[in-house]
Structure formats: structure tokens, C-alpha cells
Amino acid sequence: MFLLFLPILSHQEIQCEQITSLLKSDEENSLTCSGLSPENTYQIKLSSDHTSSTLDTTFESPNTLKFSITNPDEFTQMYLIDQDSEIFIQNIKIDAKPTVKDVGTNNKQPFLGRWIEYTYEIKFGSSYTGSGEDKYEVAIINSPTESENSFTDYKVILKNANDKNYFFIPKTVTPGENFLLFRFHLVNGETDTVSKTFIPPIHVLIPKVSDKITAEKTSTSMFFDESNTEINFGVYCTPSVYSFKVYYKIGSYEDTLFGEYEGLVTDPIYIESSINIPTDLTEVQEKVTFIMKDTATSQILAYTEYTDLIIVPKFEVENITLANHNMISDYYVLHNQEPITGTVTFKNEVAFDYLILHYKLKRQTLKPFGKSKRNFFFIVQLGDIRSENLITLNFEQNNVFKNGYITYKYVEFTYSVKYFKKDEQRKGTFYVKHNIPTEINIGGRFYESSTIANNYLQIIKNAGQDSAVYLENTWLGYSSDVGGIPSKISFAVIIEDKVIISKEFDIYCFSDFVWGINSITDLNSAPTYKIGSRKLLKLEFSELINLDDITFRYKYKPTQNDYFRDLKIEYLIRVPNTENETILSFLLPSPDTIGQNTFILQPRVPGVNGYSDQIYLTIESELEITHSSINCRMTEDSYGYGQTLLFKCNIYDIEELPIKYKAKIGNHYSKEVPHNTILM
């Protein structure tokens, strides 16, 4: 390599020729000058900005001095010393082998799977020679003896970042005492000059945390669906490799790249990105798995599962099926104003904790069918559906709404007879209304409904949209010897020998041909009774049924009119620990004559008049109302100014008497009000 030097300078009579090549560090160098004196001793001084060296010379000839550079450094100037006088000769460069002076880690602790910053000092690199390129090699071995393949087998990765140098300690290094091999190359064209290897010790530690990944959701919501498809996450990674990738996985879907990193890992690396719900997702997912992999080998380094979320597929109703209903063509037949039970099937799984059914301003949660997340039971109470042909069920999942539809025609059965005497069968009138656009027949049977058309007796053929039949004109009946005493009577719509829809009516068949009151016991001890006084009777029935269905009629004897009147009762209760006894309370009605009377009481249930019984009563005139017979009480403990005062009043503890009340405070009278409440 040739250098450009400054012009020749002289000192007194000495003039030196310019050296046109690099000074050699491994052989003698020559300097030719005129005006040298053999009697004098000359020295060569080599210097740089930081150091200098003085070299002795010998005469090779009267005009040539010889000198050797025994301790080469990055000198840039050469002087000739003549009797302590320095004569600047020229700028020079030394041709010396690249040298590593020092390598260190600045007292920082090196860990497996981590980058470590290092510093180095070199001589005779490209910055000094002005040409070529510096290249470095670093290896870590567990003995101080360098082998031929050390830099091949144990070479580590180098990186420069922010004007600092780092090398990566692979996890294949044995923890503890090791040795760092460091050398550099000066590459100039095809010439590669290599320094000697510098081998300082290095103590490698095991990190407290390695190959760890944690995830946090940065989206505020925890529910993600078709209206909220993007989920933001932040992932903290502490890998044992210098290059890694993070993937996410939802359910059984393939791993999807979340983020990647190749660079310095001196602290946990934070990667923030978003994931999207797959458009073909079919199952509810309650976790997202994040996987950290080595970029070079695809080896899984670590994974973590995030579970504080719910990911649901697209919300879509697939079909609705009603229980115990057969479809005709494309519609169901439904009872008017009755509940329907069915199953809704969604195209994909749903989060049933968030699932709500809306119908007619009412809402209900749904129960899954077994462990299914697609099939759910529902019960809907229908209103008057006679003017419509379509039921819309609105399903909600976390504020996402989808409709399901039921196409229908309606039918309405009416049958009011409930009680039958023993062996009494056909009675009452059955009514049917419908808008079914095809020919239908109506069947009837005692006992529960059946799904088999032959189990019904046809009672109406080709029923019109508003039809009726008097059952005594049919052959409908039952055999108690075969099926026992029935508790239900059923009617069905039959089309083409198939039961389309049916309905049961509760009935009660008495165990005897007659039913009524066996005995009456007067529970009042007074010898006479006033009209309007409270009367308590104990009644023993021949057979006790639902008390709510029992009403009473009465009549007095002697009387001018031999007919029963409706009796208004206060209550009818069962006597505990008895089979057929009850207590009846009522206000004694007025007879036609005062004095000795026979009070005749007859029970009734819908469709059956029971047999009556009687007691003898001596009846006085109506109750005499005096100041002491009136009882009033305030409905509140205290009242503020301007408030309405409310009082509850009765006569002889009877609140149902047809009496009007007035009250007075000072000179102020209340309004006259009926019944038993006074407003002031």
C-alpha cells in the first residue's frame, strides 16, 4: 500500500529522501539523507497523538541509516533526532499485524440467553490503515485452549446497536467459568489479515427468568362477537434466543403470527398487536393461547393461555322446532292464548349466559338442551293470535339481536263442563274456531291426549272456521271397567288421519250418582240471629273437591217463592285432619218472614247441582246500629298537614254491610262514601 506524504523538509545541511512505502514492523527500514556526519549519532522518533517511540539507528552507508521498529504502534509521524534536535521527516504508517489489545464487558453480568454489551481495543485496523474492512469473531469455550474449530463450533452472534457492541450468549453454553475468544480480521480485497486471539475469562450465569411469555388484554371488553371482532393484546416475552416469533391460537385453528422480534433482548420484550375473530368460527372460545417460538428452529420456547374473555361465533338462528306439534306444509297449528314449548337451534354455538329471548315485551333466559351450546328450550305464552300468521321471537346475545320466525294457523277449543256424576258421560257443548286453510276433522276422547288418530272418535267432520257440537248428540263415552274413571277429556284436530294438535280439559267424575251436603252443623250458639249477622256453618260433603269451584244457593221456608238464590259467602275452608268437612262463613241474608225459618243450603259446581241440607233458624229484625256497634281505625299512625285521612270502619266486625259512612272533624264533614273507608 502506498501513502501520500508531505514534502521533504531539511535541518541545516541534512536533507532526507521521502519514504514511499509503509514502514515494516518485522524487518529493518532504511532512511537516505544527505549531509549526515559519521561522527554523529542519529535516532528515529515515531509518534502519534497518544504515544511516541525513539529508535536507535546505524549507518548502512554514509548516506543511509537503518532502524527497526521493535514495539509497533499506530504511529503517524517520523522525526530524525540529531544531537537532541528533532527534524520532521514525514507522515508515515506502520505495516503491522492487526492486534487485539483488550476485551471487556464493563463489569456487567453475562446470562445465558441474553445479549451482553462488550468493549474492545484493537490496533492496526482499517481506521488506521485507511483502507479495508474490520471484521470480528467471538466464541465462548469452557477451556482456555483454543482449538482449530473453536470459532466454527462455538461462535456467537454479534450486534451493534446505538453505537454499542453486543454478543449473544446461547443457552448451549455451560453455566459457570468459561472463556471468551475474540479476534478480528482486516480484510483488504482478497487479503485477510487475522489478529491473534484474545482470551479473557467470562463467568456465565443462569437467569432467574427465561423462556417466559405473559399476555394482557388491552381491550376493555371481555365479550367479543360479530359486532366487536378485534381484540387488542400486549405480550411480554423473555426468550432464550435472539430471534423469536409469537403466534396466537383460537380453538383448533392454526397458529397465526402475532408479532416477531430480532434484536437485543436485555429486558422483557413487549409486543402489542390485535387479533381478529375468524369469520368461520363455529364454537364458543374462552381462551387465546400465545406461543413463543425460536425463529431459526421453530422450537416452542414457551406458551401462555389468556382466559378472561369470551369469543363467540356469528349469532344466527338456524331453525325453530315446536314440541308436540306437527307441521302442515310450512306452518304449525297453535292454540290461541296458550303456551308453546319448543327448541331453537343456532347455526353456531352461543354463550348461553348472555342469551335472552324477547317476546311481546317479556324476556326470559333459555335453558340448553343437555350440554349443547346450539340447542335451547323455550316456553312462550301466546296472546290472542287469531289476527296474525307469524310469531317473531327476538333472540339477544350481549346486545346483538336476531329474529326467529314461526309460521302458524290458529285453533281455539272451548269446553266448559268440568264435573260429571257417576257414569255420566256425554254432556255440554264443544266449540272450535280456526283459520286452517284445509279440511279438518275434530276428534274427541275421554282420558289424556293421544298422538294416534284412531284413538279419537270423530265428533265434527270437515269443521268450519266456527263450529260447535252438542256432545249428547255424539257417541263419545268411556268404560270405567277398561280405562278407569277419567280425569281428562281431550279434543284434537285431525288432518289426513294424523293428529295435528290436541288439547286436554280437566274433568272430575264423582264416585256416586249424586253429590252434595250430608250434614250441616251450626257453629253459632245464639238462640236467635239478626239479619246481616255473620253465620258460621260446618258442612260435611259426600265428596270433597276443589273448594274454589263450589258455589252455594239458598232459600228459606216458609216462603212465598220456592226458588234458590245465590249466596254471597265470605270464605269456605277445609277442616284440618278431616276428609270432607269444611267451614262456611257468610252474612245471614234476609228472609221473607221474621221468626222461625228453615234455611236450605245447596252446593253447586259447574255442570252439577248438589243435593241440599237444612237447619232451623230463628231470625230477628236487622241489626240495630248504635254508637257502640261502630268500630273505626286509622290506616296510618300519623298524617301531615294537607294529607287525606283514611279510616277503616265496620259494624259488629262485619265489613261487607251495605252502609254509608260520614265522619266529622270540628265543623268539617267528610264526603259520604260507601263501603267501609272514610276519606277526610
- Over pLDDT 90: what percentage of the chain? 65
pLDDT in the model for residue 43: 92
Domains in the chain: boundaries: 10-95, 99-204, 212-311, 317-409, 415-509, 517-622, 628-679
Residue 1 has pLDDT above 50, yes or no: no
Calculate the alpha carbon distances from 622 to 546, 592, 603 in Å.
34, 12, 26
Find the mean pLDDT for residues 360-379: 93
99-204 fold: Immunoglobulin-like (2.60.40)
Cell of 52: 511516541
Helix (H, G, I), strand (E, B) or coil at 319: strand
pLDDT in the model for residue 77: 94
pLDDT in the model for residue 630: 75
Residue range 34-55, pLDDT digits in tens: 989 888 899 999 999 889 999 9
Report how far residue 137's alpha carbon sits from residue 158's, in angstroms, rounded to the nearest whole number: 8
Are 318 and 347 contacting, i.e. CB atoms less than 8 angstroms apart?
yes
Cα–Cα nearest to 386, from 337, 432, 438: 337
* Buried/exposed code over 253-268 (b: 16+ C-beta within 10 A; e: otherwise): eebeebbebeebbeee
Residue range 220-236, pLDDT digits in tens: 999 999 999 999 999 99
Are 359 and 394 contacting, i.e. CB atoms less than 8 angstroms apart?
yes
Cα–Cα nearest to 547, from 577, 523, 569: 569
pLDDT in the model for residue 11: 47
pLDDT in the model for residue 146: 82
Find the mean pLDDT for residues 85-95: 90
Helix (H, G, I), strand (E, B) or coil at 627: helix
Residue 608 has pLDDT above 80, yes or no: yes
Residue range 244-294, pLDDT digits in tens: 999 999 988 889 999 999 888 667 899 999 999 999 999 999 999 999 999
Strand blocks (E) in 112-218: 114-123, 133-141, 158-161, 164-169, 176-188, 191-194, 201-204, 212-217
Q: Cell 454499542: give the residue.
A: 164
- Tell me yes or no: is domain 10-95 CATH 3.40.50.1220: no
User: What are residue 596's DSSP bridge partners?
Assistant: 618
Q: How confident is the model at residue 440 (pLDDT cuts 50, 70, 90)?
A: very high
Secondary-structure class of domain 415-509 per CATH: mainly beta
Please measure the distance between the N-terminal and C-terminal CA atoms of the chain and give it in whole angstroms. Answer: 125
Q: Cell 393484546: give the residue.
A: 233
- 347's CB contacts (< 8 A; 6+ apart) are 314, 316, 317, 318, 374
Report how far residue 413's alpha carbon sits from residue 525's, in angstroms, rounded to the nearest whole number: 50
pLDDT in the model for residue 647: 72
**Torsion angle (degrees, nearest 10) of CA 382, 388, 389, 395:** -50
Instruction: Give me the chain's average pLDDT, please.
Output: 88
Architecture (CATH level 2) of domain 517-622:
Sandwich (2.60)
Are 317 and 395 contacting, i.e. CB atoms less than 8 angstroms apart?
yes
Find the mean pLDDT for residues 449-457: 96
Are 418 and 605 contacting, i.e. CB atoms less than 8 angstroms apart?
yes
Q: How confident is the model at residue 462 (pLDDT cuts 50, 70, 90)?
A: very high
pLDDT in the model for residue 560: 57
Residue range 513-538, pLDDT digits in tens: 889 999 999 998 888 888 888 999 99
Helix (H, G, I), strand (E, B) or coil at 426: coil
What CATH number belongs to 212-311?
A: 2.60.40.2550
Tell me if 10-95 shares its fold with 317-409. Answer: yes
The H or E element spanning position 276 is strand 269-276
Residue range 96-151, pLDDT digits in tens: 999 999 998 877 889 999 899 999 999 999 999 888 999 999 999 998 888 878 89
Cell of 221: 371488553
Residue 366 has pLDDT above 70, yes or no: yes
Residue range 410-424, pLDDT digits in tens: 999 999 889 988 888
Residue 8 has pLDDT above 80, yes or no: no
What CATH number belongs to 317-409?
A: 2.60.40.1590
| DSSP per residue, 174-191 | PSEEEEEEEEEEEEETTE
Q: Cell 463450533: give the residue.
A: 153
Give the phi and the psi of residue 547 in degrees, each rounded to 5.
-60, -30
Q: CB neighbours (10 Å) of residue 664?
A: 9
Report how far residue 303's alpha carbon sits from residue 290's, in angstroms, rounded to the nearest whole number: 5
pLDDT in the model for residue 54: 93
> Would you call the peptide bond into 558 cis, given omega within 30 degrees of 0 as the criterion?
yes
Are 493 and 499 contacting, i.e. CB atoms less than 8 angstroms apart?
yes
